[in-house]
């Protein structure tokens, strides 16, 4: 037991209740993250100097896409968690699949759900799928930041036992102080990744190379997640796959490989070449 530990802040997961309606911090985090990401993408498409005269989705396209993207995030995230992380629990209690407000969302499932939504939307509107990928990649860390903060408030996905001064005793994590791994992920997947992508888009004008920002996001998230997994306790029903390898690491490796490949491919193309 370390000399100094941090008590878990007494934050009610329910922000407020009005009759049968309850607004939870978890739901609010998704709402705020999606709205801010949408507003950020709108600002990017309206900034001509970032695109070098190349085509991109319009602000009106993004206004319509936010509904498609939201459905992809929620449906993909929930289905991914149910199928990959806890199929036995939901097979025994199928109605719990609908209780998304209690937590239990997979980033990798949400990522795939959003990719499907982007393909369908781009095809329907005749837009460049790579441009849409790039825009989504620049804004995704905003949603990730708020989502990880919600994980912390929900006291879920906590870390491994730790003896660091900032270790936290979670109310449902036993008596051991633990790494606040949700906050590590909020910092790495949210703040650090957002800054890296912002530098790429604004300092190095990488939005002019279709697919590069999307690849950078995929690779950056995969690396950040793998680092965080060394401090995060694996889901009890899965545990370690082998040694220190976790499901989160395994699912992140293809994202890193695909991200690097996409960045290399995009960097070799002319800067303002249109992409289908």
| Two structure tokens written together for 226 | 């793998």
b vs e for 46-61, b when ≥16 Cβ sit within 10 Å of the residue's Cβ?
eeeebbeebebbeeeb
242/155 Cα distance (integer angstroms): 26
| Two structure tokens written together for 32 | 């705020």
223 Cβ partners below 8 Å, 6+ apart? Answer: 252, 256
The two counts, helices (H) then strands (E), for the chain are 9, 4
State the first-to-last Cα distance of the chain, in angstroms, to the nearest integer: 57
- Any known ligand binding at 148? yes
Neighbours of 13 (CB within 10 A): 17
CB 117 within 8 A of CB 264: no
CB 97 within 8 A of CB 83: no
CB 209 within 8 A of CB 267: yes
Inter-axis angle of helices 129-153 and 59-80, to 10 degrees?
50
b vs e for 214-234, b when ≥16 Cβ sit within 10 Å of the residue's Cβ?
bbbbbbbbbbbbbbbbebbbb
| Two structure tokens written together for 50 | 């970032």
Binding residues: 148
């Amino acid at each position: 037991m370390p000399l100094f530990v941090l008590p878990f802040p007494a934050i009610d997961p329910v922000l407020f209740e009005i009759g049968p309606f309850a607004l939870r911090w978890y739901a609010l985090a998704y709402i705020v993250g999606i709205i801010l990401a949408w507003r950020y993408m709108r600002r990017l498409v309206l900034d001509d100097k970032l695109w070098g005269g190349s085509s991109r989705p319009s602000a009106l396209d993004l206004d319509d896409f936010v509904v498609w993207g939201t459905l992809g995030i929620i449906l993909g995230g929930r289905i991914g968690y149910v199928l990959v992380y806890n199929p036995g629990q939901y097979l025994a209690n199928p109605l719990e699949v609908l209780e998304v407000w209690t937590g239990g969302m997979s980033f990798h499932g949400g990522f795939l759900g959003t990719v499907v939504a982007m393909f369908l939307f781009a095809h329907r509107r005749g837009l460049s799928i790579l441009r849409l990928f790039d825009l989504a990649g620049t804004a995704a860390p905003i949603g990730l930041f708020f989502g990880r903060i919600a994980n912390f408030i929900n006291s879920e996905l906590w870390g491994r036992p730790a003896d660091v001064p900032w270790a936290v005793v979670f109310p449902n994590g036993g008596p051991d102080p633990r790494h606040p791994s949700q906050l590590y992920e909020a910092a790495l997947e949210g703040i650090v990744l957002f800054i890296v992508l912002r530098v790429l888009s604004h300092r190095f004008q990488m939005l002019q190379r279709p697919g590069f920002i999307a690849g950078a996001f995929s690779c950056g998230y995969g690396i950040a997640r793998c680092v965080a997994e060394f401090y995060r306790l694996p889901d009890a029903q899965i545990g370690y796959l082998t040694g220190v390898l976790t499901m989160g690491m395994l699912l992140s490796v293809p994202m890193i490989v695909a991200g690097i490949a996409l960045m290399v491919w995009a960097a070799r193309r002319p800067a303002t070449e249109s992409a289908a």
